[in-house]
Amino acid sequence: MPPKYTSVPSQSYESDDDFDPFLNDEFSDVDSLDNDLELLEMQRAEDPLHSALEMPDLHTSTLQMAFMNMANSILGAGAIGTPFAMKNCGVLGGALALIVLTLLVDYTLRLIVINLKLSGKETYQDTVEHCFGKRGKIVIILTQALFAFGGSIGFCIIIGDTIPHILRSFFPSYKDSVFLSFIFSRNFIILFVTLTISFPLSLSKDISKLAKASALALLSMVVIIVIVLVSGPRLPSEWKGSLRLSDYFINARVFQGISVISFALVCHHNTSFIFHSLKKPSLNRFAKVTHASCFVSMVAIALLGFGGFLIFKDKTKGNILNNFPGNDPVVNIARFCFGFNMLTTYPLEIFVLRDVLRDLYYINRDSSPELSPRAHLMFTSVLVGVTMGISLTTCNLGALFELIGATTASIMAYILPPMCYLNMTHKTLPRRIVLYSIIGFGFATMIISSTQTIINAIHDDGSSHCAI
């Protein structure tokens, strides 16, 4: 059996100019690492044991397919809550937060792949284990699981917030029928749509097969943004609120807004899957995917976030579509598009959740074998059932996104990637200060935003976010 891929960590990266992601040409001097990756794949092809355990979606995505999967993963449920985030941040605070967070997410996404190559590992969680042992791996597995878990709950909530209004618009007198009232109810729609559409899609073992659905989901997001920006200003004034002078600057709830934007932007739990899905995985190719995905997502979030907030002002809800009348036919098109978006994004989260829980199950093994067909079905069924079940009990997206963004997103995006990089390299003091600043920002967001969200939840039952 050929040797495993252990040569990369022994290479020298101690020079600041040899391998430094802060440099403008950070990916211009990594040809040797890309060559190492090609050697690794040749070795794996000759290793029958590894071939049996290899991820099934390896090397099947083009750059365009990878871009669609990453952009769709970013522009998932969190995008619809960004107007609420801007309400918490203020106009100036929201603009600064969006730009800074996009740059940080773009950087840390690529830093995860750099860490993969430095450690010679295949997954984000294995890299953390390489740096911090079993405890580190448990932390990242639980973090990824909770992020994907919360996102999956949010997607089911959105299905219940969107599709019933569409169906009711075709039957204005549905309340007169007990049968129609039942099948158009929020909980029945969540059950029916999740079990008949999202669940079968979640059974897929190949993330690249979702690329076409992701392309349609991205197109639907464009439709949503256009409808919100065009239909919002046409509503009567009683549907809109007002702005205070402080709302144009930075609000005291800015960290809560940052956590929602973080939830919208973060897709770090998908990073290793998307990287390995590339036909020719390299740092340069992944950088192109990351730059394009983050830029497009930033523009989309800016349009929807600021547009929605400036239209509805202090009446902006956690789901911006809930600010519109339930019988508006044009807005119901946006609801349909967003519901469809959730149908395709939900399987991506289940894919990640299933994978990290498999790693947790096999935590004491050196590697996690592929799940058997029976175990694959069982894991998927339980995950879909639990996330769907919780979504039947709540509809407050704002608080959900704030809490998930403050905790899991901060750990995955701002804390662990630079900590792993510092663990495996020796940088000069100025560059270490930058890395430690990112880590400090992550902890500050996590502590301050979580505290504010919990305090607000105690005094607010969230029912105002559900009403239309």
pLDDT in tens, 159-211: 888 888 888 888 888 888 899 999 999 999 999 999 998 899 888 876 666 65
* Lowest-pLDDT range of 10-14, 89-93, 328-332, 399-403: 10-14
What would the mean pLDDT of 438-453 be, rounded to a whole number? 93
| Cα–Cα separations (whole angstroms), residue 233 to 89, 165, 315, 322, 323 | 22, 21, 14, 15, 12
Domains of the chain, start order: 60-465 (1.10.4160)
Residue 280 contacts by C-beta under 8 Å, 6 or more apart in sequence?
A: 59
pLDDT in tens, 275-301: 988 888 888 999 999 999 999 999 999
d(CA 185, CA 19): 56
CB 70 within 8 A of CB 289: yes
Residue 265 contacts by C-beta under 8 Å, 6 or more apart in sequence?
A: 74, 78, 101, 102, 105, 294, 297, 298, 301, 413
pLDDT in tens, 358-372: 888 888 877 778 888
* Lowest-pLDDT range of 10-24, 97-111, 325-339, 452-466: 10-24
pLDDT at 48: 39
pLDDT in tens, 42-51: 444 444 333 3
pLDDT at 298: 96
**pTM attached to this predicted model:** 0.77
More confident residue, 33 or 63: 63
Closest C-alpha among 411, 442, 220, 422 to residue 321: 220
CB 251 within 8 A of CB 89: yes
d(CA 41, CA 212): 27
pLDDT in tens, 355-404: 878 888 888 877 778 888 898 899 899 999 999 999 998 776 777 778 88
Whether residue 9 is predicted with pLDDT greater than 50 in this model: the reply is no
d(CA 7, CA 10): 6
Whether residue 343 is predicted with pLDDT greater than 90 in this model: the reply is no
Whether residue 342 is predicted with pLDDT greater than 80 in this model: the reply is no
* Lowest-pLDDT range of 124-128, 150-154, 186-190, 205-209: 205-209
Mean pLDDT score of the chain, rounded to an integer? 82
Closest C-alpha among 364, 224, 404 to residue 308: 224
Confidence of residue 150 (pLDDT cuts 50, 70, 90): confident
Closest C-alpha among 335, 48, 294, 339 to residue 193: 339
Whether residue 99 is predicted with pLDDT greater than 50 in this model: the reply is yes
- In the chain, the amino acid numbered 76 is G
Residue 32 contacts by C-beta under 8 Å, 6 or more apart in sequence?
A: 11
Rounded to 5°, angle at Cα 263 from 293 and 147: 110
d(CA 6, CA 329): 59
Confidence of residue 436 (pLDDT cuts 50, 70, 90): very high
Report how far apart the first and last C-alpha atoms of the chain are (Å, whole number): 63
What would the mean pLDDT of 229-250 be, rounded to a whole number? 92
CB 37 within 8 A of CB 30: no
pLDDT cut 70: percent of the chain above it: 82
Residue 278 contacts by C-beta under 8 Å, 6 or more apart in sequence?
A: 59, 61, 62, 63, 66, 285, 286, 289
pLDDT at 364: 80
* Lowest-pLDDT range of 14-18, 195-199, 288-292, 320-324: 14-18
